[in-house]
Structure 1
Amino acid sequence: MSAESPGQQNEHFLRVIKRRFRDWRGQRPFWAGLLTILGGIPIAYFPYASLKIGHMTLAMATTAGAGSLIIGVLLVTLGLTMWFHHIVRVFAGVASILLALVSLPVSNVGGFLIGFLLALIGGALSIAWAPGKGETEEAPGPSAPADGRDVPLVPGPQVGDGTITQKTGVHVDGGRNSAG
């Protein structure tokens, strides 16, 4: 018998998948994309849905069904764009907000306000999202030396440290002037 049982390997495998998904989710506006996708579904679905109550069929079909389908498909596409091309997240967020606003008059009051609100919040989250700093990254900047001296922000010899004794300036006519 081995020291490891198959159950432990599956648990480790699931833990690795969960960690990888959490890392992937943290590098992109995941919730913005999810809400935008969920907002596009009712906008595209309701104009084509029909509800049967006994022998009576209730249909919400409108003349703007094609427009609703286009808006819904575009919102789903923008949600996927937020996930897989997060560099264009601001464009996708603004486009989601505009499509959500257009869905109000076109698509049964924006999918009965459900799709409208989800797409609107998803677009706003996409615009507001900013990539976070990793746990191992440190903030850039000069570090103070151990003896307490100031560290110059520009590398090379500095005026006043004894290596540069003369300042040079540039005249308005382009000539160089030695100032002492």
Structure 2
Amino acid sequence: MSAESTGSRGFTYWRLRFRAWRGTRPFWAGLFTLLGGLPIAYFPYAQLHLGNLTLAMSTTAGAGSLIIGVLLVTLGLTMWFHSIVRVFAGVAAILLALVSIPVSNIGGFLLGFLLALLGGALSISWVPGRPPARSAVGREAPRRAPEPDDGDPFLPAPREGENPNVTDTTAHANGGRKSAG
């Protein structure tokens, strides 16, 4: 412990820890899926009181709504804590959201349906980022521009007879390509 530290971890420390944790998993997908399960499970059992009038949304499919809602909450937590199965959880969330339309009051009055559908789509499309390259000292190595010969399949290869070090952003009017004449 240094002489300058107070000995307690402040808000900034926990905020940065949460930010690092959130960046390694499909956080927003899990949150939307979890929030989508709540109205689907809640509305069939809710009672709205308007003066002396009680409005109950109870249906015969109340048990099905509860099961769908609990499964969506579970899938949302699975996306957070077991991100390796994010594609399965996303597909299952989309299918449960679609099943909730006829079973659970039009998918929790479309609120739960749309949140679960968005969460499932985000979970399927989320891909973990590449970890930063480390140097021998342990600090991040300076980032360099990718070379065309790095083997990256998403970078276009130079055309025949082109200089690979000249790109379309050069100051030359022809983009660094050889003229036809």
| Pair in the same fold by TM > 0.5 | yes
Matched, 1:96 2:121: no
Partner of 2:70 in structure 1?
Answer: 73
Aligned mate of 1:28, from 25, 28, 47: 25
CA offset digits 1:90-137 (Å, max 9, x no partner): 000000000000000000000000000000000000000000122345
Please state how far the C-alpha of 1:19 moved relative to its aligned partner. 1.0
Aligned-partner residue type, residue 60 of structure 1 = M
User: Which structure is higher in strand share?
Assistant: 1
Aligned-partner residue type, residue 48 of structure 1 = Y
The percent identity for this pair of structures is: 73
CA offset digits 1:118-165 (Å, max 9, x no partner): 000000000000001223457xxxxx9xxxxx9xxxxxxxxxxxxxxx
Partner of 1:57 in structure 2?
Answer: 54
Q: Which runs of 4+ in 1 moved over 2 A?
A: 3-6, 134-138
Partner of 1:110 in structure 2?
Answer: 107
How much is the aligned-residue C-alpha RMSD, in angstroms? 2.2
Q: Unpaired segments of 5 or more residues in structure 1?
A: 139-143, 145-149, 151-180
Q: Distance in 2 between matches of 1:36 and 1:13?
A: 31
Q: Distance in 1 between matches of 2:69 and 2:133?
A: 40
Q: Unpaired segments of 5 or more residues in structure 2?
A: 135-140, 142-146, 150-181
Q: Distance in 1 between matches of 2:5 and 2:88?
A: 49
Q: Distance in 2 between matches of 1:50 and 1:30?
A: 32
Partner of 1:122 in structure 2?
Answer: 119
Partner of 2:170 in structure 1?
Answer: none
Please state how far the C-alpha of 1:4 moved relative to its aligned partner. 4.9
Larger radius of gyration: 1
Aligned-partner residue type, residue 50 of structure 1 = Q
Please state how far the C-alpha of 1:14 moved relative to its aligned partner. 1.5
Q: Distance in 2 between matches of 1:52 and 1:37?
A: 27
Q: Distance in 2 between matches of 1:53 and 1:23?
A: 46
State how many pairs are aligned. Answer: 136
Q: Distance in 2 between matches of 1:53 and 1:45?
A: 18
